[in-house]
Amino acid sequence: MNTIKDLRIETDRLVIRPYKEEDLMECYRLMQDESLFNYLDMEVMSLDEYKRLFHWLIGSYDKGFDEDFKYSFNITLKESGVHIGWCGIGGLVYD
């Protein structure tokens, strides 16, 4: 692995990897489920708001640990490729 962008973790059922631009709409659709926000300090976002967050997350892969960082990763089902969630490390404070 050369950079965080190259990270890929596979289990028997899941693939965990950095977001790619083509993930945007599938991730946005998942983030429209209000029940997710019972456990998060966030609210459902408009598409424009989510695009801003999504691109900020992708941009964070270029930041080092000595800066404010957030590495967020896409979780998909290995067999179908369906996006089922995300995981990450770091603080979620973005502009």
Low-confidence winner among 12-16, 51-55, 86-90 (lowest mean pLDDT):
86-90
Q: Tokens 């209000």 sit at which residue?
A: 34
Confidence of residue 1 (pLDDT cuts 50, 70, 90): low
Report the CATH number at residue 80: 3.40.630.30
Taking only the tens place, the pLDDT of each residue in 17-66 is 999 999 999 999 988 988 877 877 788 899 999 999 999 889 888 876 66
Higher confidence at residue 74 or residue 40?
74
Q: If DSSP codes are grouped into helix, strand and coil, which group holds residue 69?
A: coil
Burial 77-86 (b: 16+ CB within 10 A, else e): eeeeeebeeb
pTM of the complete model beyond 0.75: yes
95 found inside a domain: no
Counted domains in the chain: 1
pLDDT at 94: 53
pLDDT value at position 19?
Answer: 94
38 lies in which domain range? 4-90
Question: Rounded to whole angstroms, how far apart are CA atoms 71 and 83?
Answer: 17
